[in-house]
Structure 1
Amino acid sequence: MKILNKIATLFLMSLISISLVHAQTSRKDKKAAHAAEIKSMVEAQDYVFDANYVTPMRGISRSLNSPYDLVISKDTITAFLPYFGQAYQAPYNPTDGGIKFTTTKFSYNSKVGKKGDWTITIKPTDRSISNWRDVQTMTLSISTDGYASLQVISTNRDPISFNGTIEKRDHKK
């Protein structure tokens, strides 16, 4: 009877070991697949930065509950982000608060870091005040895991930073 208990225990231990090794391999495979997907989107300039946390230069950092994003494609940048901080010039239209614009005129520079992360610099070159507002530079730092931070530097406002994730762009919109 003792031998049967030992055999059953060994069998159970080997099953647990096999399932743990399989789970670790599956996690590694999923992580590698996710990193490859992020790399593909960033290199294709076809993704969305989904902001979920904001850090103004002055004031309190806070979570964002509404959907705010920066949509990147090869030919268009669309920003729909909030702004908290000091503005040195009021918007022409009071409902135009935040960082909201769509432009097809911009420079896009991407640098790959040593760990495979990216630093992307976007500079709108469209100087139409109704569309471009006052954004000078947007610097997007993206990790291989898909986490990202965005720093926005404006002419007439204090700098502001956002944290979030990189997501697939919805081509239906």
Structure 2
Amino acid sequence: MKKNKRLVLLLLFITASLFVLNAQSKKERRAQKEKQVKELIESGSYRIDVSTAYPQRGRTIQLSSPYSIEIRNDSVFSYLPYYGRAYSIPYGGGQGLIFNAPLDTYRIETEKNNATKISFTTRTQEDRFDFRIKVFTNGTASIDVSMQQRQSISFAGGLFLPL
């Protein structure tokens, strides 16, 4: 009987210590990811992979192809789909949100909840684009794009974190 009691107490102690160790490692992983996200944004070279599109009209669209937006130095490389109404575009539909262009303005702000707010403007031959990106500490991101010749559109995805 004493052996069973000791065995139960030993198992209970081991289980409790595993929970404590697991909780600490989760906190450490979260802190490490927050640090990695912050360093990547501050470096000025990062990519956001997009998984969902939110047109101004219509339903949410889950994207199956690999779409992304990349910021490198002073340029933006946009490979994003467009769903919505266009007011004035070139014959044939134009390029939409698939372009490479230099950044006109670029601003980074940190909000109260430690999310990073990035805003920039760029121009192509077709249109002027105003991007507002919000990157959260866990690496998820939301992108809002306003254009002069098309309806606005939003996207959701995540920051590409290299291993």
Q: TM-score scaled to structure 1, two decimals?
A: 0.88
Aligned twin of 1:161 = 154
Q: How many residues align?
A: 162
Q: Is the 8 A contact 1:82 1:97 kept in 2?
A: no
Residue 149 (str. 1) matches residue 148 (str. 2): no
Instruction: After superposing the two structures, state which structure 1 stretch, 96-105 or 149-158, moved more.
Output: 96-105
Shift of 1:166: 0.7
Shift of 1:97: 4.1
SS in 2 for 1:104: strand
1:1-173 alignment runs, 5 A limit: 2-94=1-93, 96-124=94-122, 126=123, 128-129=124-125, 133-168=126-161
Q: Is the 8 A contact 2:103 2:120 kept in 1?
A: no
RMSD across aligned C-alpha pairs, in angstroms? 1.5
Shift of 1:151: 0.4
Cα deviation, 1:54-108, whole Å, max 9, x if unaligned, reads: 00011111101001110012222100100000001233444x4430111124211
| Structure 1 residues 87 and 139: alpha-carbon distance in aligned structure 2, compared to 1, 3 A threshold | same
Instruction: After superposing the two structures, state which structure 1 stretch, 150-159 or 96-105, moved more.
Output: 96-105
Give unpaired runs (5+ residues) of structure 1: none
Q: Is the 8 A contact 1:135 1:152 kept in 2?
A: no
| Structure 1 residues 97 and 75: alpha-carbon distance in aligned structure 2, compared to 1, 3 A threshold | closer
SS in 1 for 2:3: helix
- Residues of 2 paired with 1:61 and 1:98: CA distance? 19
Q: TM-score scaled to structure 2, two decimals?
A: 0.93
Q: 2:107 corresponds to which letter in structure 1?
A: N
Shift of 1:116: 1.0
- Residues of 2 paired with 1:82 and 1:135: CA distance? 16
- Residues of 2 paired with 1:168 and 1:6: CA distance? 48
